[in-house]
Chain A
Amino acid sequence: MSAAAGPPFSWNLITDLRAMWQFQFMQNAFMAGTIIAVVAGLVGYLVVLRRSAFASHALGHTGFSGAAAAVLVGANPVYGLLIFTMFTGGGMALLGNRASSRDVETGTVLAFALAIGLLFLSLYQGYATEAYSILFGEVLGISAAGVAFTFWTGLAVIAIVALIYRPLLFASLDEDVAEAKGMPMMFLNVAFMLLLAVTISIAVQIIGVFLIFALLVTPAAIAVRLTKSVAGAVIVSIVIAATAVWAGLFIGWYEPYPVSFFIVGIVFLEYVFVRAMGALRTTALVQAVDASERDGVRTLRNAALSASASQVLFVGAVVFIAISLLTHPSALSNPAVLLGQANLGFLLLGAAAVVGMYSFLTYFSGFRMLATSSREFTSPAFFTLVGILGITLMLGGLDLYFSGVFLAASSYGLAPVAILFGVPIVLVGAVLLLLGLFGQAVGSWRVGLRYHEGTLRTGAILMFFPLAGCALSYLGYRRAFAQGARTAPLTASS
């Protein structure tokens, strides 16, 4: 699958892309992938809004029988896909005109279509690779003519969506009123299913009928959770699909695994991430039960203390690892040696992570207690939870990375994948950790404003410098607590 003809990976992404684009098939793959990501992101939004995800899945399956038929008669599989998906799509739209009743019809058609595809394939005496590329996609096999076909078809889909998206949206949201307003419901249903059929037919080239869901539905499903505006959701959906295709092609260039796997894997990780953030947000916004402000400030004081302890451990770990690296420069290029030399350093790092998680948790509960008197502390509470997620991801990513490194020595097949996924997970974890620190800082700043406590505000600014910020915040919270004790009970200021 991978074309290992180019130079090895360098951290200069521009050079890397240039090296890839020297090959015509990579250019074709990037162009077709981008066009398909744009079309799929756009149509996928309508699929999610109309709740036709299952129908799109089924259309992909009927496309399989079409492609198999085309292969059987020696034609381009895309034409078979187009004809079969458009016929079944139109048929499905004509059969059921109420969205709620469509899944049974859809399932019936789906099973039959797969069976026909199976029959065609058994009749075809050629190689199984044809079937494989229809089922799972073969983005590196797209010809220049295929790119041109994809471009014009995609352009037509976008143009038609632009002409009918308003009635389509309205009919999806409010079927009864749309009917009373004289909307041509049957025309809209058929038009939508035909658009979906064409989109699926061109997308199958890169992602295959089994994986179509990941490129068509999942990006849009992520997008609608992030924004409530139509244009915003379409743009986010397109960006997610396009980045997944690009990153998938990029990684697929260096790794000997299918590109489709990387595309679907990236989309899946993004989906899990957005869902997890959504769950966290709901948890954080649950208002705390009756706990007084004084309890909140006292909890925050403890949190600052444990955060200082975690940072001491962290600085110790960094110093220890740095010394190991200086004394054994060879460890820099060999993570296994590094892990052996600096094992105490990594132990300290683990301890710092555990104490850090505890401090984030304490910060969270402290901010949540304060949130009962003022809503300005709900977002800091949310961000400290994000920080916990960040530390977890960093630990998991590091573990994955080093497992990969050790397994690579025993030439275990999945080792490169572990290394590949370990690094981005650590990076994402680091970003979330920074967000958590940001939440701590904003929360501390607001507590400082509330109690007119300058030490706390200074500590909040210094929060990103290990040791200085948290230690200072501890002092600030102590004074704020004493102040709160003097004037208790404090009145809610907002």
Chain B
Amino acid sequence: MEATSAPPLPFHIPGGTLDLGGTPAISARGVEVRYGSRVVWKDATFEVRRGEFVAVIGPNGAGKTTLFRMLLGLHWPSSGTISVFGGPPHRGNNRIGYVPQRHAIDRDTHLACDRLVRLAYPGKGWGPGGRRRPIQWGPRFALGPEREAAARVLEDVGASELGPKSLGSLSGGELQRIFLAEALVGNPEMLLLDEPLSNLDIRRSRELVETIHGLVRARGVTTLLVAHDINPLIKCLDKVIYIANGKVATGTPGEVLTSASLTTLYGVHVEVLRDSRNNLVIVGGEDDRGEEGA
């Protein structure tokens, strides 16, 4: 599964239309990632500007979650540099909100949803993690700001009525909204969403994408979203990061998702088809990858 020596990708085009100025949100220069001796991907050079809405797509096991883990400071590149908001990635970064990929919460969890959101509200006072620590340690005596922030963010994600319900009683789509609220309650500048649309039907996927898109646009939050299917997202996207075959390609959807560029990326013939309603179908290239995770 190792990447073969490939020519430099011809379609590295940085930037979308939005530019909020200053340092880029993410900047990667010649990054190579390994798990043990296995090279996940290498020679990745790309940039994500502030406020961009980016889809990270690619087959299973291609290293999409690994990209997130690097941005969160949980995994380090074996060579090259990657920076988040101009600095090296580190754990406990309050400027990043993260929704990991997961299937469900235990049915037996009898705890109100707004409690989870409130727990994620950044802390003050005693505890490790510097002045802006990701969560509060010890009891909080003035609950007002925390309650208000949780109520506001639950309203923003359209889940106000779910607040008092117990976590174990929610459906997959409802849970995704709660997790989104949990990630947003600390007012992050970047949002990493790992497969938020899996287990949702097409209608709910589109609804959730609209909610997310409206929210991050209003708040100017840079968003990276891992998805299997790009079609529910395509209207909102500024940029696509396509990870496959040990390589990373970036550009606007129109640039990356073409038969020519994907064929170059995979090294085998890949066809990008469009149906009558402009939905994309990618044929070929994914068959040799079946691993879950990474």
Contact = CB atoms under 8 A, between A and B. Distances in A.
A228 B92 contact: no
A166 B138 contact: yes
Interface in B70-103: 72-74, 90-93, 96, 98-100, 102
A166 B135 contact: yes
Chain A interface main SS type: helix
Interface in B113-154: 115-116, 119-120, 123, 126-129, 134-140
Interface in A171-197: 173-174, 176-184
Interface stretch (B104-112, B217-225, B248-256): B104-112
A178 B137 CA distance: 13
A170 B72 CA distance: 18
A229 B110 CA distance: 9
Nearest to A169: B119
B138 A170 contact: no
A183 B93 CA distance: 11
Contacts of B134: 181-183
Given A164-B137, A166-B135, A181-B92, A224 B182 contact: no
A163 B100 contact: no
Nearest to B183: A177
Given A170-B119, A174-B182, A230 B111 contact: yes
A180 B98 contact: yes
B60 interface: no
B119 A181 contact: no
A225 interface: yes
A248 B139 CA distance: 33
A183 B135 contact: yes
A51 B106 contact: yes
A103 to B, nearest CB: 14
B136 A166 contact: yes
A162 B139 contact: yes
Contacts of B126: 163
Contacts of A176: 98, 100, 102
B26 interface: no
Contact of B72 (A169, A180, A225): A180
Contact of A179 (B74, B93, B109, B140): B74
A49 interface: yes
Contacts of B183: 177
Contacts of B91: 179-182
A155 to B, nearest CB: 16
Contact-residue size bin, chain B (C-beta under 8 Å from the other chain): 35 or more
B92 A182 contact: yes
A167 B100 CA distance: 18
Contacts of A181: 91-92, 98, 120, 134-135
A184 B120 contact: no
B167 A173 contact: yes
Contact of B100 (A180, A183, A184, A224): A180
Nearest to A229: B112
B164 A228 contact: yes
B109 to A, nearest CB: 7
Nearest to B116: A173
A217 B73 CA distance: 37
B112 A228 contact: yes
A177 B110 contact: no
Contact of B129 (A173, A182, A229): A182
Contacts of A166: 119, 123, 135-140
B166 interface: yes
A170 B120 contact: yes
A162 B136 CA distance: 12
Contacts of B73: 182
Contacts of A173: 105, 109, 111, 116, 119, 167
A51 B107 CA distance: 12
A340 B166 CA distance: 53
B120 A229 contact: no
Contacts of B110: 224-225, 228, 233
26 contacts: A162-B138, A163-B138, A164-B137, A166-B119, A166-B123, A166-B137, A166-B139, A167-B127, A167-B135, A170-B120, A173-B105, A173-B119, A177-B120, A177-B183, A179-B74, A180-B92, A180-B96, A180-B98, A180-B100, A181-B98, A183-B135, A224-B110, A224-B111, A228-B111, A228-B166, A233-B110
Q: Which are the 3 A-B pairs with shortest beta-carbon distances? A: A182-B92, A181-B134, A182-B91
Interface of A: 49, 51, 162-167, 169-170, 173-174, 176-184, 224-225, 228-230, 233
Given A166-B135, A180-B72, 6 more contacts: A166-B140, A174-B120, A177-B182, A182-B92, A229-B115, A230-B111
Interface of B: 72-74, 90-93, 96, 98-100, 102, 105-106, 109-112, 115-116, 119-120, 123, 126-129, 134-140, 164-167, 182-183
